[in-house]
Amino acid sequence: MTVDIPSRYQLVSACGSGGFGSVSIYMDSHLERNVAIKTILSESEKERLVDELQGLMSLRSNHVVQVFDVVYEGDSLAGIVEEYIDGEDLWDSHFPQSSPENYLKCLWQISKGLADIHEAGIIHRDVKPNNMKLDEKGIVKVFDFGLARPTDLGAHTVGFKGTYGFAAPELFSGDHVDFTPAVDVYAFGATAIFLLSKSLPDELLMVPPSPLSESQVRTIFSHLDVPIQDVLLGCLSENAENRPLMADVHRLLSKYLLRDRHQAIATHKGKYHNLNSGNRLISLALNTVGSLKIEYNGLGFYVKDRQGEAYINNREPDVGEEIPGSCVVSLGSASRKYYERAFITFDVSNPEVVL
Amino acid sequence: MIGPHGNGDLVGERYEIQEYVGEGGMQFVYLAKDILLGRYVALKTPKNNAAQKRFRRSAVVSARVNHPNVAKTLDYLEFDERSYLAEEFIEGNDLDKGLLRKFYAVDPYLVARLFHNLSKGLWVSHDAGVVHRDLKPSNIMLVGDVSIEAVKITDFGIAKLADEELTEAAVGGGESITNSQTAVGALPYMSPEAISAPDKTAYPSDVWSLGAMMYEVLTGTKPFGTGLMAITEILSDKEPALPEELLVNPQFAGLVQQIYALATRCMSRTIEDRPTARELVQECETLCYPIEQRYLGSVRDARYRWGFISENGTDVFYHNDSIYGPGIADHDPVCFSKFPGGGADRAHPVMKVKV
């Protein structure tokens, strides 16, 4: 079937197809920008178009494509006008493989997009590199919500839907399949493998996929820090309940992307002492009354040693404890006179990932 | 009914006016419901014919910028001989209502974060070839309430593409888009060249305006005063001073000085001495500022050197060194961040709220 596109939109190129329907690029003559218009090829796809629209409308994320308009035929939805991203999808792109940092930046953005999707109560259900696009500024956005489902309706499906290689094992369990946002977490794990080498291990391509062993996963991700390996291993768990939440994956990746970029400033009597990747340790001491050592390990600031009367915000910190964003270190207990004590303020920066 | 519309009006069979939000320099702004997509948008329409002319142009220009720190352009339409621009609706306040009218001066952590985010927004705009030309507090939107979640530049009302300049100068008579209004921008934030040669405003003029705003947020005063007197000051070679009382507390002083230095560099009379937006982003990345939740409370027990704030009935300790701006007394409303502490949490920074 063909859909009448309003004259506001002028065809630029009738190209690719999405997970379903067809996607063409049009020029929006009102705003002189390109948009992607997705239309259905047959009546049977209408339900998926409606699902896609609902999925896209219920969330706002910097890492999910935006809807601008819809096209109706009579009373029924026939097309969705979406933000057009001028760039390759992550199946074709070589950006993730170009450097370890770019790889991590991609994973970080995908995890943010998926965390936002899940927070909006939606399961994407078709997470794969083909459904993620990279623009010229290095921004990754997730698209194609044709299989998306709200979480709260007790998501289930009849028969297999999804993409082999990225579909979680529970989706193969029979005719009537119950699933949770954890299917997206699994697909994220498989995507993380694909983005390294542009291929998937044979085990994941089997129908149903057979689980990778822990040592296989650690070998694949051997260049990554162990905590990241741990979380990706969790994503690929055969048992959906063992997979982490997307928001937690995102938080962990943020921490590592910002490694060595934090700083802290200790202020004492108007003098500043900087703590950062070039100067990792500070020792604060007042005679023999008390002392505190604080160390920057690249991810945060931690109490390394504490002797005698040393306090943070008027409480006794444990060795190994993380320093809060802003605090006062006092040496000498509150029972001493004010002038017998020393106060050092501490400010810890909270850098943001800037893409 | 304010401006051309009352609540319930339907624009272009799609946008239902919910309420009047306010007006920019040249446009009325409404909260409207996009009934096609079921979401809220900010619907803007020009106040008069002169503004109408450049309205579509500015819609097209702002649609080119796609970044989390810039309000997203969603639609442009003409209906009943009026032009309309639909933009992402931002729940929150502008910089004027959200910060300048609320506080005497804003603590340097928050200013650093604003500066950083706005620099990013400005950088992508400039990178897309767009000069804003009207940066002022009412064009900066703060998402959220007490705690600011995000910052977005909006209202590219008189923005233009940098490369349009020559063509216009060559083609345009008195009626060309940029010449049709003599003054470009809001006086207190205008660069010398925007006053003396409005057709010469370019990227560095935006940088000046950003610097002027950051100076105002940090110190609570406009760098060159208000009204027409500002013109003389801006055209002189006087540098706005840094009030010494902002340097009294050493924990703030370092960052205050860094921000002040950056803001005054933005306001260099020699255009070449101003940093580019890209350089601003890099400079802001070196600032050390924590990002923390903010709370409202009132001073319960102010003593000589310290005291307690009551936040919903719970005591939060503060030390005078954590107060930014004017001192506080019992019953004063305050805004603050807090960190875990012994006995009570410790507030830092603390700002008095204007009543």
Segment 124-163 of chain B within 8 Å of chain A by CB: 124
Of A8-17, A66-75, B174-183, which range is least confident? Answer: B174-183
In chain A, residues with a C-beta closer than 8 Å to the C-beta of B109 are 347
Chunked mean pLDDT (size 10), chain B, 355 residues: 88 95 80 92 84 78 86 91 91 92 94 94 90 90 90 77 45 36 68 86 94 97 89 93 92 93 97 96 86 94 94 94 94 95 92 94
Q: Is the pLDDT of residue A156 over 80?
A: no
- Read off the CATH number of the domain in which A295 is found: 2.60.200
Q: Is residue A57 part of a domain?
A: yes
Q: Is residue A36 part of a domain?
A: yes
3-class DSSP string for chain B? CECCECCCCEECCCEEEEEEEEECCCEEEEEEEECCCCEEEEEEEECCHHHHHHHHHHHHHHHCCCCCCECCEEEEEEECCEEEEEEECCCEEEHHHHHHCCECCCCHHHHHHHHHHHHHHHHHHHHCCEECCCCCHHHEEEEECCCEEEEEECCCCCCEECCHHHHHHHHCCCCCCCCCCCCCCCHHHCCHHHHHCHHHCCHHHHHHHHHHHHHHHHHCCCCCCCCCHHHHHHHCCCCCCCCHHHHCCHHHHHHHHHHHHHHHHHCCCCHHHCCCHHHHHHHHHCCCCCCCCCEEEEEEEECCCEEEEEECCEEEEEEHHHEECCCCCCCCEEEEEEECCCCCEEEEEEEEECC
Average pLDDT rounded to a whole number, residues A77-93? 92
Q: Higher pLDDT residue, A88 or B227?
A: A88
Closest residue on chain B to A258 (Cα):
B285
Q: Higher pLDDT residue, A140 or B170?
A: A140
- Find which of A18-32, A60-74, B34-48, B263-277 is predicted with most confidence, using mean pLDDT: B263-277
- Read off the CATH number of the domain in which A50 is found: 3.30.200.20
ipTM topping 0.90: no
How do beta strands B39-46 and B15-23 pair? Answer: unpaired
Which domain covers residue A198, as residue numbers? 95-257
- pLDDT (0 to 100) of residue B169: 36
Are B339 and A314 within 8 A, CB to CB?
A: no
- pLDDT (0 to 100) of residue A1: 63
- pLDDT (0 to 100) of residue A121: 87
Q: Are residues A234 and A340 in the same domain?
A: no
Q: Are residues A120 and A77 in the same domain?
A: no
For A170-207, letters b (16+ CB in 10 Å) and e give bbeeeeebebbbbbbbbbbbbbbbbbbeeebbeebeee
- Read off the CATH number of the domain in which A113 is found: 1.10.510.10
Burial label for B349, CB within 10 Å (0-12, 13-18, 19+), is buried
Are B290 and A272 within 8 A, CB to CB?
A: no
Q: How many Å is the Cα radius of gyration of chain B?
A: 22
In chain A, residues with a C-beta closer than 8 Å to the C-beta of B68 are 62
A349 closest CB neighbour out of B289, B339, B342: B289
In chain B, residues with a C-beta closer than 8 Å to the C-beta of A267 are 250-251, 254
- pLDDT (0 to 100) of residue A158: 61
Rounded distance between C-alpha atoms, residue A109 and residue A101, angstroms: 12
A68 closest CB neighbour out of B74, B255, B349: B74
Q: Is residue A355 part of a domain?
A: no
- pLDDT (0 to 100) of residue A252: 95
A348 closest CB neighbour out of B290, B321, B340: B290
Q: How far apart are the first and last CA of chain B?
A: 30
Length of chain B measured in residues: 355
Q: Please indicate if any CB of chain B lies within 8 Å of the CB of A350.
A: yes
Average pLDDT rounded to a whole number, residues A143-151? 77
Residue A69 among the catalytic residues: no
pLDDT tens digit sequence for B3-44: 889 999 999 999 999 999 887 667 889 999 999 888 899 999
pLDDT tens digit sequence for B181-220: 334 567 899 999 988 887 788 899 999 999 999 999 999 9
Q: Is residue A343 part of a domain?
A: yes
Q: Is residue A156 part of a domain?
A: yes
Average pLDDT rounded to a whole number, residues A91-108? 94
- pLDDT (0 to 100) of residue B173: 35
Rounded distance between C-alpha atoms, residue A42 and residue A22, angstroms: 10
Q: Please indicate if any CB of chain B lies within 8 Å of the CB of A66.
A: yes
Q: Are residues A186 and A268 in the same domain?
A: no
Average pLDDT rounded to a whole number, residues A185-195? 97
Total number of domains in chain A: 3
Q: Are residues A204 and A326 in the same domain?
A: no
Closest residue on chain B to A61 (Cα):
B68
Q: Which domains does chain B have, with CATH numbers?
A: 10-88 (3.30.200.20), 93-285 (1.10.510.10), 295-352 (2.40.50.140)
Q: Is residue A2 part of a domain?
A: no
Residue B227 structure tokens: 């009204």
